[in-house]
Amino acid sequence: MTCKFDYEAPADLLRDRIVLVTGAGDGIGRAAALAYARHGATVILLGRTIAKLEKVYDEIEAAGGPQPAIFPLNLEGATLKDYHDMAETLDKEFGRLDGILHNAGLLGRITPFEQYNPELWDQVMQININGPVWMTQALLPLLKSSADASVVFTSSSVGRKGRAYWGAYAVSKFATEGFMEVLADEVEHLGTIRVNTLNPGATRTKMRANAYPGEDPQTLRTPEEIMPTYLWLMGPDSKGCNGQRFDAQPPK
């Protein structure tokens, strides 16, 4: 399956779909939440900074999109109970889930491994892989209640080829790729849930600016510009794609 860099999503692509976006208050997650809502989805905005989520909520409402929901959660301290409470709340409110974009992420530090702080390592692993794993486990019954559910994990080029100094971030993204393959294989027989990874590629966000402080952000695509693949992978046109790795930008 080739990547859909130029995909033109129909206006009603995600009509009547319930889609959860983590890290929805900023960067790529914010752009995805707005794009999904613009294409008809009821979006559940999950993140740790309520003021940012409220702003996205207001933007969706102002644009006339379906009323979204805000789910404040800090993935760093979230427990299994939090994820099960979340599943119960979403079950009561919506009864099913048609998509999850696991987008929230933490860069940690780009530093030689010899100097990597173990607490920061654990923090990055918690937010980038352990949280999404246990959240997905809790939400599986809701995904199974959907006729066509898409689970998208956010990867990175350093999750496909290791690079010096990228430490826990790279390892967490390799783990993300591995977990995607395991889960995709487990749900394949159902035929109603697909699980894939998406690498956004260099994108103009705060995380990118932290990782590459000397780079001119104007040389990078904006989160809005990489949305075609995000839409395609969340909508029905990617049905049948399971266990695959996608990129949101063509190689440079």
Give the binding site for ligand NDP (CB under 6 A). Answer: 23, 25-29, 47-49, 52, 74-76, 103-106, 127, 154, 156, 199-200, 202-203, 205-208
Output the smallest distance, CB 111 to ligand NDP, in A: 17
- Rg of the chain on CA atoms, in Å: 17
- DSSP assignment of 131-151: HHHHHHHHHHHHHHTSSSEEE
The residue (of 136 and 146) whose beta carbon lies closer to ligand NDP is: 136
Task: Write out the two tokens for 236.
Answer: 């029905």
Q: Residues 64-76, buried b or exposed e (16+ Cβ, 10 A)?
A: ebbebbbbebebe
The residue (of 106 and 146) whose beta carbon lies closer to ligand NDP is: 106
Q: Which residue has the CB atom at the shortest distance from ligand NDP?
A: 27
The residue (of 42 and 197) whose beta carbon lies closer to ligand NDP is: 197
The residue (of 9 and 170) whose beta carbon lies closer to ligand NDP is: 170
125: helix, strand or coil: helix
165: helix, strand or coil: coil
- Annotated catalytic residue within 36, 57, 83, 169: 169
CA–CA distance, 130 with 85 (Å, rounded to integer):
17
Output the smallest distance, CB 198 to ligand NDP, in A: 9
Q: CA angle, corner 208, sides to 31 and 107, nearest 5?
A: 100
In the residue annotation, 169 being an active-site residue is answered as yes
Output the smallest distance, CB 15 to ligand NDP, in A: 26
Output the smallest distance, CB 120 to ligand NDP, in A: 13
| Residues assigned a catalytic role | 169
